[in-house]
Amino acid sequence: MRFGMAERIRARAKHVLAVGATALLLPIVAGGSAPAHAAPAGGFEELTVQSSMGPIKVQVQWAKRGGGAALYLLDGMAARDDRNAWSFETNALQQFAEDDVTLVMPVGGLSSWYQDWAAPSNTNGQKLTYKWETFLTRELPDFLAGYGVSRTNNAVAGLSMSGSAALQLAAYHRDQFKYAASYSGALNISAPGMREAIRVAVLRWGAYNIDSMAPPWSPQWLRMDPFVFAPQLRGLPMYISAGGALPGEFNRPQNVGQVFDTGVGMGIEAVTLLNTRAFQYRLNTLKIPATYSFPATGTHTWKYWEVELSKSRPGILSALGIG
């Protein structure tokens, strides 16, 4: 009798240990690389997201009431490694502070055009290969899903370099993005001289070799050109803008350097204005509607994009079903 009781006690102890071990393992198996969290309601946070490019910082302002919708805000050509410029060059955080939408601001991507590059740049010692489209459409949404952010109810907005990228992401990932906005974007990359201009720009910002992104004969150049993939935007709500390339309310140069910068901003904006007008013509030809904004003044600077973001905000919220 005593022996039988001891055996039963030992068997019971083994069962309890096995159940406990299984319970400890379940979150690891179920959660994968992105363990589930309660959806935050409001507040700002900086996350570290693992990717094929290594760890990527992502700044997040959580939806006011813990909702699942998200707006991806992409940075410009001179993207920094410490902060996304939307978070400090504009009042984007304040604009959406009371809205039930999470702002997702990836950090980094200098001169990347938010593309999946073919190889590391061989002119600046780059060690990794840019894989930004993969990050923005697979790795990052998978990670954010662990925080309750929807994989399918998202908008994306970009300026300058990322204006075309925003449209591209929405065109090829319609299951993820319901709205796209481009402010002063390069929307006619196949136009004469545009590839050469992009080559010079990525050399200027970071000494990158554009051939490492896509060789001259690569079909990637057509894939990333909004003028070419425009038919795939049918049915997508869009906001498209470019300034008039003339100094306006946010241009108050006080010295020679600022006068020079204003002139450069005027020149770049003139190019993006021509690109955007050509893209407008392309959409009109295809009978694809979009909301356009072409203010008479405005150079290639952040405060003008802040205004355009504010003007596109109602459309963003409407497309995401946020009242």
Residues with catalytic function = 160, 269, 300
203: which residues sit within 8 A by CB, 6+ positions away?
Answer: 123, 209, 210
**Cβ–Cβ under 8 Å, residues 238 and 179:** yes
Burial (0-12, 13-18, 19+ Cβ within 10 Å), 260? exposed
CA-atom Rg of the chain in angstroms: 24
**DSSP 8-state class, residue 193:** T
CA nearest to 206, candidates 112, 107, 88: 112
Q: Which residues in 229-258 are b (16+ Cβ under 10 Å) and which e?
A: bbebbeebbbbbbbbbbebbebbeeeeeee
Amino acid in position 186:
A
Instruction: Provide φ and ψ at 126, rounded to 5°.
Output: -60, 135
Question: Beta-carbon neighbour count of residue 285 at 10 Å?
Answer: 9
CA–CA gap between residue 18 and residue 183 (Å, rounded)? 58
The percent of the chain in helix, strand and coil, each rounded to the nearest 5, is: 40, 15, 45
CA nearest to 114, candidates 122, 123, 105: 105
Helix (H, G, I), strand (E, B) or coil at 45: strand
